[in-house]
Chains A and B, each alone.
Chain A
Amino acid sequence: MPDVLADVFRREAGRCTATLIRVLGDIDLAEDAVAEAFAIAAEKWPTQGVPPNPGAWITTTARNRAIDRLRRESTRTDRHVAALRLESDDMPPDPNPELAAVDDFVDVVADDQLRLMFLCCHPALAADAQVALTLRLLGGLDTPEIARAFLVAEPTLAQRIVRAKRKLRDNHAPYRIPRPAELPDRLHAVLVAIYLIYTEGHTATTGDSLTRVDLSREAIRLGRVLTELMPDEPEAVGLLALTLLTEARRPARTAADGSMIRLADQDRTQWDRPLITEGHTLVRACLRRDQPGPFQIQAAIAAVHADAATAAATDWSQIVALYDQLHALRPHAVTALNRAVALGELRGAAAGLDALDSLDVSLLEDYQPYHAARADLLARAGRREATAAYDRAIELTANPTERRFLERQRNEVADRT
């Protein structure tokens, strides 16, 4: 039973919270009500069995509990008014939540999840607050879990979440899906937050394990929810494809001793085929739609890698062309860096170094991948500055697994020269 409950919690907590926020008009009330409903479930389900639609059961129970509580605590006018609203709402209180009509309910829930995504990623919130709030409200992660995932002190993270919720409340942030005119920017913020959650899970900034699988899984789950709710948004599909294709390489990314394996050296038979197939299907759907965006292009690049049976078989000319397209769409120092690396594969290390040297280094001075890529190209070109570049990259690496990898590379070069 605890497993069933944990499973329902993972799947439904975000959805229930999303609906309760709409019904109650308050994030904290909604969170408390959902938590209470899960506590009741933990008590009742082992003896009474799991209801046929657990999510609707939780939502209805949470709503009924919230009404009770609002009545009890209706000393404050606004809460009293909220209780009145609940009773006069489209969902009359149901003494038997198990019998609640679930169908209409579920439709509404889908929209609520979208509303909540846009609320959590409101541009008035800082990126770290958007990510924390998304994980908390939509992912159902508790504060200690999120704090651990991002290696932030728990009080700091708790404060971040409290402040974000208070800002949304004080500012009367609307609980709605953005209008078409605002949608591109607002959707981009949601996609970036999901992508940040994914990358944090993919390469943890610090900590002794290279991956933090839970965060990556949660990001993929959120990406799936988003594409189900907005199937006509090619960038949402692109983001999901990108995360799936990157995730497919996970089994090959680390050796048995936990050390990191580069893309070029990975055993590609270990790549997750079903994930690649799903990712490829999504990329093809994006290509057919022909409304390219940054996430779709990055997904296409990941798809080219996934297509190659060996590293040597990689179609680097296509990858360079895709980076060109990405850079034309959204110029960025990191894109230029990746293009230079791809060029180094296509035309040799010297060409790659030429491309690197033409970049505006001021933006990349403290960027670890820049120094790691430069060190690699220098080493391949047989240049002795490679060791110094490795040293700089190692200095900038917080992840111990990745640092060990770079140290090994540096020592090999040092032995050679």
Chain B
Amino acid sequence: MPVSIRAVAFVEVMTKETVTMPQYLLSVCFDEDYDDVDLSTPENQAQMARTAELTAEMERAGAWVFLAGLRPASSATVVRADGGDVSMTDGPYAETKEQMGGFWVIEAPDLDAALEWAAKASTACERPIEVRPVHA
């Protein structure tokens, strides 16, 4: 088993049954608002089928933890609690057209394994995938 930076103390020393694998967030990057996307087109149907197949592959490999596809960023509300006051604003927090459209949380032994899943995810979604480690 390859040792990984920082993980070594846990992964290699602690016994197999208590091993906690690192988790990664793979988010699907959209560079346009997708309000008007017609999911019934053959292209989008095929893409969704590929995505479902990848998720199934993750499950079989024991890598899958969680996933969600998100409604468009325009449907978001930002809530701010400041002392006793709670304010709400319409729209997403980040004021850019690039938004997360969905995500997987996976378990992988190390970064390279996570990047391999990300490459498959990018192929399936035909979009960039951002990989971020989850805080241990």
One of A21-29, A242-250, A283-291 contacting the partner: A21-29
Report the minimum CB–CB distance from A63 to chain B (whole Å).
Answer: 14
Which chain A residues lie closer than 8 Å to B7 at the CB level? 25, 172
Q: Are B2 and A169 in contact (CB under 8 A)?
A: no
What separation, in Å, do the CA atoms of A85 and B14 have in the docked complex?
9
> Interface SS of chain B: helix, strand, loop or mixed?
mixed
**A83 to B, closest residue via Cβ:** B9
- Given A22-B3, A176-B3, A85–B112 Cβ distance below 8 Å? no
- Given A84-B13, A85-B12, A175–B2 Cβ distance below 8 Å? yes
Most chain B beta carbons < 10 A, residue from A84, A171, A172, A176: A172
Which chain B residues lie closer than 8 Å to A85 at the CB level? 8-9, 12-13
Q: Are B112 and A174 in contact (CB under 8 A)?
A: yes
Asked if B44 CB lies within 8 Å of chain A CBs, one says: no
What separation, in Å, do the CA atoms of A282 and B109 have in the docked complex?
39
Contact with A along B104-116 (1 / 0, CB 8 A): 0000011110110
Q: Are B8 and A25 in contact (CB under 8 A)?
A: yes
Which chain A residues lie closer than 8 Å to B111 at the CB level? 122, 124, 168, 171-174
Interface residues of A in 113-144 (CB under 8 A from B): 119, 122, 124
Q: Are A21 and B5 in contact (CB under 8 A)?
A: yes
Asked if B22 CB lies within 8 Å of chain A CBs, one says: yes
What separation, in Å, do the CA atoms of A377 and B112 have in the docked complex?
48
Which chain A residues lie closer than 8 Å to B115 at the CB level? 124
Asked if B77 CB lies within 8 Å of chain A CBs, one says: no
Which chain B residues lie closer than 8 Å to A82 at the CB level? 8-9, 13
Most chain B beta carbons < 10 A, residue from A82, A169, A173: A173
Interface residues on B, range: 20 to 34
Contact of A78 among B10, B24, B133 (CB under 8 A): B10
Q: Are A168 and B10 in contact (CB under 8 A)?
A: no
Contact of A182 among B14, B110, B112 (CB under 8 A): B112
Which chain A residues lie closer than 8 Å to B80 at the CB level? none
Report the minimum CB–CB distance from A184 to chain B (whole Å).
Answer: 15
Q: Are A172 and B133 in contact (CB under 8 A)?
A: yes
Report the minimum CB–CB distance from B23 to chain A (whole Å).
Answer: 10
Q: Are A174 and B6 in contact (CB under 8 A)?
A: no
Asked if A103 CB lies within 8 Å of chain B CBs, one says: no
What separation, in Å, do the CA atoms of A208 and B7 have in the docked complex?
45
Asked if A170 CB lies within 8 Å of chain B CBs, one says: yes
What separation, in Å, do the CA atoms of A173 and B133 have in the docked complex?
10
Contact with A along B10-34 (1 / 0, CB 8 A): 1011100000001010000000000
Asked if B45 CB lies within 8 Å of chain A CBs, one says: no
Report the minimum CB–CB distance from B9 to chain A (whole Å).
Answer: 4
What separation, in Å, do the CA atoms of A124 and B133 have in the docked complex?
12
Which chain B residues lie closer than 8 Å to A174 at the CB level? 2-5, 109-112
Q: Are B14 and A81 in contact (CB under 8 A)?
A: yes
What separation, in Å, do the CA atoms of A27 and B115 have in the docked complex?
21
Which chain A residues lie closer than 8 Å to B3 at the CB level? 22, 25, 174-176
Which chain B residues lie closer than 8 Å to A122 at the CB level? 111
Q: Are B10 and A173 in contact (CB under 8 A)?
A: no
Report the minimum CB–CB distance from B1 to chain A (whole Å).
Answer: 9
Contact of A25 among B9, B14, B109, B133 (CB under 8 A): B9
- Given A81-B14, A124-B111, A182-B112, A176–B2 Cβ distance below 8 Å? yes
Q: Are B5 and A169 in contact (CB under 8 A)?
A: yes
What separation, in Å, do the CA atoms of A85 and B111 have in the docked complex?
23
Report the minimum CB–CB distance from B100 to chain A (whole Å).
Answer: 19
Q: Are B9 and A170 in contact (CB under 8 A)?
A: no
Which chain A residues lie closer than 8 Å to B22 at the CB level? 171-172
Q: Are B5 and A168 in contact (CB under 8 A)?
A: yes
Contact with B along A72-90 (1 / 0, CB 8 A): 0000001101101100100
Report the minimum CB–CB distance from B86 to chain A (whole Å).
Answer: 32
What separation, in Å, do the CA atoms of A299 and B3 have in the docked complex?
36
What separation, in Å, do the CA atoms of A21 and B9 have in the docked complex?
12
Interface residues of B in 32-48 (CB under 8 A from A): none
Interface residues of A in 52-84 (CB under 8 A from B): 78-79, 81-82, 84
A–B Cβ pairs within 8 angstroms, 11 of them:
A25-B9, A82-B8, A85-B8, A119-B5, A168-B111, A169-B6, A170-B6, A172-B109, A173-B112, A174-B3, A174-B5
Assuming A25-B5, A173-B110, what are 18 further A-B pairs, CB within 8 angstroms? A25-B4, A25-B8, A26-B5, A27-B5, A81-B13, A84-B13, A124-B111, A168-B5, A170-B133, A171-B131, A172-B7, A173-B4, A173-B111, A174-B4, A174-B5, A174-B110, A175-B5, A176-B3
**Interface of A toward B, CB cutoff 8 Å:** 21-22, 24-27, 78-79, 81-82, 84-85, 88, 119, 122, 124, 168-176, 178, 182
Kindly list the 7 A-B residue pairs having the minimum CB-CB distance in the complex, ordered from nearest.
A25-B8, A176-B2, A174-B110, A172-B4, A171-B111, A174-B2, A82-B9
